Structure 1
């Protein structure tokens, strides 16, 4: 297995815009989607697929994760871009996707919010929000 490459949020946005087979999969929890916000792909005629990697509040790994990808109609031809808060869960999700027969998996580096800044806040240093890409509250 070649591994799951990191790709910047801006490169992800460009790939999603240019490639009809590209899909953004947000693997955060319901709580994060509801309280932190979501990538907004409506401007490019797409929707973010929401499939939690871990189930809130237990944070157990979602054993049905690959099934959700298949049920969403995804195939080996799709390029799958996984995003979480900062890039760790999305990497694990990408690895699981590859193991389940989705070879074109990418990890969105720094995730939706990225690392904390000097004042302990996320969303300002790196990641989807810091890159100025479209997002919305749920």
Structure 2
């Protein structure tokens, strides 16, 4: 019986499924804006647990902007910051729908992700975990990677800062869930080797 259990655990690791005790988010529970084509989702805690167990077999990318990493902090586990979108250099255009300075697609995203993948000795069939502020950009970034041939891209649905409270004294604040609110390791101190620099 012990041999069977050990063989089953090894099989789970080989095909890349989470180990028992690490539940994945049910795709049906994910809001439309946070859905990705591959429908692979993790909570921040699940992402941390998986990466803690298998850092050499997982690429963990923070896909937020450089400003977010600098001013809000970054997960200590992340292998690199690879922005999916970035603010314009001079921030002169306004996005009325989002109520913020306009973001532009980062044309280096795919190249930078592949560079980071190769640095770890991984391939497009290995596990990639993406985290953004609250789970929508990471889902879009996951789609971009899936379109480029990546097969196991997980989006962290609650992101680094989490979702906003709908009511109560903290309504509108990002206090519901997410990496920071779960007490997972993060820091304002950034490692230059893990940062993104435009090509």
The question of a shared fold, defined as TM-score above 0.5 by the shorter chain, is answered with: yes
Note the residue ranges of structure 1 that are not aligned, 5 or more in a row. Answer: 42-46
Q: What are the superposed Cα offsets for residues 17-45 of structure 1, whole Å, 9 maximum, x if unpaired?
A: 1122112110100110000000012xxxx
Q: What are the superposed Cα offsets for residues 67-119 of structure 1, whole Å, 9 maximum, x if unpaired?
A: 11112215213211000000000000011111112111000011000112242
The structure with the greater share of residues assigned to helix is 2
Structure of larger gyration radius? 2
Instruction: Work out the CA distance in 2 between the residues paired with 1:2 and 1:37.
Output: 28
- What's the counterpart of residue 18 of structure 1? 53
1:1-138 map, 5 Å? 3-19=38-54, 20-41=56-77, 47-57=78-88, 58-72=102-116, 73=118, 74-117=122-165, 118=167, 119=170, 120-122=172-174, 124-138=175-189
TM-score by length of 2: 0.62
TM-score by length of 1: 0.87
Say what the alpha-carbon RMSD is for the aligned residues: 1.7
Shift of 1:2: 5.8
After superposing on structure 2, the runs of 4+ consecutive aligned residues of structure 1 that deviate more than 3 Å are none
Greater relative contact order (CA < 8 Å, ≥ 6 in sequence): 1
Note the residue ranges of structure 2 that are not aligned, 5 or more in a row. Answer: 1-35, 89-101, 190-199
Secondary structure at 2:47 match in 1: helix
Instruction: Work out the CA distance in 2 between the residues paired with 1:29 and 1:2.
Output: 23
Q: Are 2:37 and 2:143, in contact at CA under 8 Å, matched by a contact in 1?
A: no
- What's the counterpart of residue 44 of structure 1? none
